[in-house]
Amino acid sequence: MSIIYHQEQRIWTLETRHTAYEMQVSKLGYLIHLYYGAKTADRMDFLFEPYDLGFSPNPYELRTEKCGTPDAYPQEYSGMNAGDFRLSSADAVTASGIRGADFRYVSHEILPGKYRVSGMPSAFDRDDEAETLVIRLRDKAAGLIAELYYAVFEETDVITRAVRLVNGSEEAIELGKAASACLDLPEGDWDLIHFHGKHTLERQIERVPVMTGIQTVSSKRGASSHQQNPFVILCGREASEDFGDCYGMMLVYSGSHRIETEKEQSGTVRCVAGINDETFSWHLAPGEAFETPEAILSFSGTGLGTLSRQYHRFIRKHICRSKYMHERRPVLINNWEATYFNFDETKILHIAEEAKKLGVEMMVLDDGWFGTRDDDNSGLGDWFVNERKLRGGLTPLIEKINALGMKFGIWVEPEMVNEDSDLYRAHPDWALTVPGRDPAMSRNQLVLDLSRKEVVDWLYGALARLLLDHHIEYVKWDMNRHLSDIYSRDCPADRQGEVPHRYVLGLYDLLERLTKAFPDVLFEGCAGGGGRFDAAMLYYSPQIWCSDNTDAVERLYIQEGTSYGYPASAVGAHVSAVPNHQTGRITPIGTRGVTAMSGGFGYELDLGKLTEAEKEAVRSQIARYHEYYDLIHEGDYYRLTSDSRRLTHTAWQFVSEDKGSSLVSLVMAAPRLNSGPLRLRLKGLDPEASYEVVRMEIFGFEPPAPKNGRKVFSGAALMSGGFVFPMLWGNYPSAQVYLKKV
C-alpha cells in the first residue's frame, strides 16, 4: 500500500521506495502540504504551525485569533483572491463576476491503479504498481471544484499529479488558469535548474539561485519549445551530482507551458506548473470539467544523478508506450544532410546501398519526397509523392530498398501547410491566421488548425493512406514552426482563448489514432530537431530527434542537458559528415560515433563518400552499437562530468541493471596541456565485484602503449580510485571502455 490515510489526523502519506509525500486537512479545511522528501517513519504534521503574518489576512473563522493566514500555509493547490498572495494554481471568474477560489476540503477516495487524463498522454501502469488518491476541494462562492489526482509509483520513486476542475455551480465559469501541480518547499537556499536553448542548441543547463520574487520558465510558442523545456529541478544550494536534496517537476505536455517558482517574504518556495495561462482560457458550462496535463514529480536525497535515473526509469517504463521500447530499433541512415532537397530515386538508392554494405538496417527518406517540394517554400500539406523526383511513386523505391534487406522510413510534417500547396488552395481557412492581418511567416509555412476536428480527420486520412499503401516501417514526425496568429475559424469569438490547448488536444488525438492503428510503425518525434522534446511526445514516439545540431562536440552538451530528465533511449543521435554542417568543425569519425552512441543510433551522410578506413570504422561502430544496445537503452545512466561545457572533456557511463556490465564514454573537447592522464571515478558498479576491461578503444589519437597492462579491477577501486585513461591529444579524441563483471 503506497497511499495511507491516517483518519484521525486527516493525513495522507504517499510512500515510494525511498520517498514520502504528506498532506493534511487543516481544521478549517485547507489542504496543507506537510512534507516531501526522504522516507521517515514519523507523521510530519509537527512541521506545520499556523502563524500570524503582518499584512497577510487570516481566515474569517480565525479573525479574533489573528492566526493562520493561508498566505503562510504550504498548500497543495493554491487558491486566488482569498488570502494567499503567492502564486495561484487556478484562476476562475463566474458569469456573475465572482473571481478566484478559496479551496477547502470536501472528500477523498483511494483507488487501485493509475488514473488517466482524458484526451492527453499520461503515465500508464502495466503491472498494477500504482495507486491513485483523489482529493476533492471546493470553493463555495464560485462552485468550482478541484479534484486533485495523485498516483504513486512506488518502485520508480515518482508521484504524478493532475487536476480536474469541475463547474459545480449553476452558471458558467471562465477558467483563466488551471495548473497541474503546486509544490511548496520549506525555507532554505534553493537553486533552480532549467533547460533553455534555441534551434540547434537545445536544453542547455542553467542553475541559478531561487531569488525572492518570481522566476518563470515558459513557452508561449504552442510547442514545448527549444527555448525552455517543461522540466525544472529545485535543489539545495549544496546539491551536486551525488549529494543533496533535489525535486523534479516535469510536465507531460507539448504545448505552451509555464513553470513558476516564487520565494516569498518568509523564505519558503512555491513551484506551480501547468499550461501557460498567458495564452489560455477555458469556458466551463455548469457540470462541465477541464482536465489539466499531468505533472511528474520525483525527489532524490542523493543528488541530481539519482533524480535523473528515477526519471529515466519512469519514462521508459510508464511513459513510452511503443513496442520499440522492448524490440530493437534499427540502425538508420537519413538522407537529409546528405542531399537536402536535391535527390532522386538513383541518389537515394545509392545512399541505401552504400549504407547496407556497412551494416545499416533502415533507409529514412527525409523532407522533399512529396507534392512540389523542391525547397521549403511549397508542398507541405500534399502528402502524395513528388513524381518528378521519384518516378512511379514510393513503392518501387521501397521495394528496391527492401530487396537490399533494409527497412524503409519516411519524413512527414503533418501539422503544417505551405500557401503554395493543393491543400492550402482547397482549404485556406484551415490555417491559423487572424482575419484582417497578414500572418507572420516562418520557413514560409503556416500551421494547420488542429483544434478543428475536420482538419485532424483529414490528416488522419492522408497519413493512414500513406501508411496503408506503402511498406513504411518508421515515421519521422516533424514540426518546423511555432504557433503565432492563433485564431480558429471554427471557434466562437469568446472561446478563442481555448484554441492553443485545443490544438494540442487535436495533435494528441491524431497521434493516438495513428499509433493505435499502426502499432508496428516506429515513430520518431522531431520539431526542427529537439523543439518538442517532452514526456507527452515520448508517449507516442519512443525517441525524438534531439537536435538539428549534429556536431559531435556541441551534441555532448545538448545530450547532457537532455539527460537530466530524459533517458538515452529517447534521444535520436546520428553520425554526420565533416566539416559539420552546423558548426564547420572537423571531428574524427570514431568520436562522432561515441557521441551518437548515446541513444537511437544512426547516420546522416553519404557513406559512399567515406574513405575505406572510415567505412571500416562505421562497420565496427554498428557492430559495437548492437553489442551495447541493451546497456544504452535500458542501463542506468551516470554523468561522470557535469556542466561539461566548462571542462576539457565530457564523460558518461551506462551500467546494466544487474551491474554486470558497463560502458564508459569520454570525449576530449580540448586537449590537456602539461597534465597527466585523465582519471575518472566510475559510478554505479558493484563495489564487491571484479570488472574486466573487455575492450578499450581510443578514437582520433594513437596513444603510446600503456605501461600498466592491468585489466581487472574491483568495482570499489574503479569507483573510489578511478579509471585511468591514456593521454588523449589532438583534435577531439575520444575513448570507449567496456567493462564486464568477472
Q: Shortest Cβ contact with ligand GLA: which residue? A: 367
Three-state secondary structure call for residue 500: helix
The window from 344-352, 389-397, 522-530, 667-675 that contacts ligand GLA (CB under 6 A) reads 522-530
Q: Shortest approach of ligand GLA to residue 447 CB, angstroms? A: 15
Q: What are the cell numbers at 546?
A: 534531439
Q: Would you say 336 or 424 has its CB closer to ligand GLA?
A: 336
> Following DSSP, what letter does each residue of 71-124 receive, concatenated?
TTS-BSS--BSSS--S--SEEEEETT--B-B--EEEEEEEEES----TTS----
Q: Shortest approach of ligand GLA to residue 372 CB, angstroms? A: 15
- Interacting residue with ligand GLA among 411, 523, 566, 732 (CB under 6 A): 411
The window from 462-470, 525-533, 586-594, 670-678 that contacts ligand GLA (CB under 6 A) reads 525-533
| CA distances for 712 relative to 357, 560, 724, 726, angstroms | 36, 29, 13, 16
Site string for ligand GLA, 439-478 (x = CB under 6 A): ---------------------------------------x
Pairing relationship of beta strands 11-15 and 19-25 according to DSSP bridges: antiparallel
Q: Shortest approach of ligand GLA to residue 639 CB, angstroms? A: 26
The window from 23-31, 95-103, 523-531, 559-567 that contacts ligand GLA (CB under 6 A) reads 523-531
What number of chain residues touch ligand GLA (CB under 6 A)?
11
Q: Shortest approach of ligand GLA to residue 366 CB, angstroms? A: 5
Query: Binding of ligand GLA at residue 365 (CB under 6 A)?
Result: no
Residues 6+ apart with CB under 8 A from 714: 687, 688, 689, 690, 691
Q: Shortest approach of ligand GLA to residue 637 CB, angstroms? A: 24
Query: Binding of ligand GLA at residue 480 (CB under 6 A)?
Result: yes
Q: Would you say 167 or 200 has its CB closer to ligand GLA?
A: 200
Strand partners, 163: 148
Beta-carbon neighbour count of residue 643 at 10 Å?
Answer: 17
Q: Would you say 534 or 548 has its CB closer to ligand GLA?
A: 548
User: Where does 154-212 show beta strands of DSSP type E?
Assistant: 158-167, 173-185, 190-198, 201-209
Q: What are the cell numbers at 363?
A: 533507409
Q: Shortest approach of ligand GLA to residue 220 CB, angstroms? A: 21
Q: Shortest approach of ligand GLA to residue 230 CB, angstroms? A: 19
Q: Shortest approach of ligand GLA to residue 608 CB, angstroms? A: 21
Q: Would you say 228 or 549 has its CB closer to ligand GLA?
A: 549
Q: Would you say 36 or 545 has its CB closer to ligand GLA?
A: 545
Q: Shortest approach of ligand GLA to residue 592 CB, angstroms? A: 16
Query: Binding of ligand GLA at residue 540 (CB under 6 A)?
Result: no
Question: Choosing from 534, 548, 554, 634, which is the catalytic residue?
Answer: 534
Site residues (CB under 6 A) for ligand GLA, limited to 607-666: none
* H/E run at residue 589: helix 589-596
Write b or e for each residue in 658-690: b if 16 or more Cβ atoms lie within 10 A of its Cβ, otherwise e. Answer: ebebbbbbbbbbebeeeeeebebebbbbbeeeb
- Interacting residue with ligand GLA among 71, 366, 534, 560 (CB under 6 A): 366
Task: Kindly tell me the sign of the dihedral angle through the C-alpha atoms of 642, 645, 650, 656.
Answer: positive
- Interacting residue with ligand GLA among 45, 367, 560, 634 (CB under 6 A): 367
Q: Cβ(328)–Cβ(212) under 8 Å?
A: no
- Interacting residue with ligand GLA among 131, 154, 548, 606 (CB under 6 A): 548
- Interacting residue with ligand GLA among 230, 305, 497, 529 (CB under 6 A): 529
- Interacting residue with ligand GLA among 11, 163, 526, 553 (CB under 6 A): 526
Residue 202 annotated among the catalytic residues of the structure: no
d(CA 143, CA 344): 63
Q: Would you say 34 or 475 has its CB closer to ligand GLA?
A: 475
Q: What are the cell numbers at 347?
A: 541518389
d(CA 591, CA 579): 14
Q: Shortest approach of ligand GLA to residue 478 CB, angstroms? A: 5
Q: Cβ(586)–Cβ(613) under 8 Å?
A: no
Residues 6+ apart with CB under 8 A from 506: 450, 451, 452, 453, 455, 456
- Interacting residue with ligand GLA among 369, 474, 545, 738 (CB under 6 A): 545
Q: Would you say 330 or 368 has its CB closer to ligand GLA?
A: 368
Question: Choosing from 344, 614, 630, 686, which is the catalytic residue?
Answer: 614
d(CA 120, CA 468): 26
Residue 22 annotated among the catalytic residues of the structure: no
d(CA 161, CA 135): 11
Q: Would you say 297 or 416 has its CB closer to ligand GLA?
A: 416
Residues 6+ apart with CB under 8 A from 569: 316, 320, 325, 542, 543, 599, 600, 632, 633, 634
The window from 131-139, 347-355, 521-529, 612-620 that contacts ligand GLA (CB under 6 A) reads 521-529
The window from 260-268, 323-331, 526-534, 691-699 that contacts ligand GLA (CB under 6 A) reads 526-534
Q: Shortest approach of ligand GLA to residue 30 CB, angstroms? A: 47
Site residues (CB under 6 A) for ligand GLA, limited to 322-361: 336
| CA distances for 400 relative to 80, 288, 352, 360, 384, angstroms | 63, 54, 10, 15, 19
φ, ψ at 689 (rounded to 5°): -85, 160
Intra-chain end-to-end CA distance of the chain, in Å: 39
Q: Cβ(337)–Cβ(576) under 8 Å?
A: yes
Q: Which of 628, 684, 693, 697 is nearest to 658 (CA)?
A: 684
Q: Would you say 303 or 529 has its CB closer to ligand GLA?
A: 529
Q: Would you say 282 or 603 has its CB closer to ligand GLA?
A: 603
Return the CA Rg of the chain: 27
d(CA 79, CA 87): 9
What are the residues binding ligand GLA (CB under 6 A)? Answer: 336, 366-367, 411, 478, 480, 526, 528-529, 545, 548
Write out the catalytic residue numbers: 534, 614
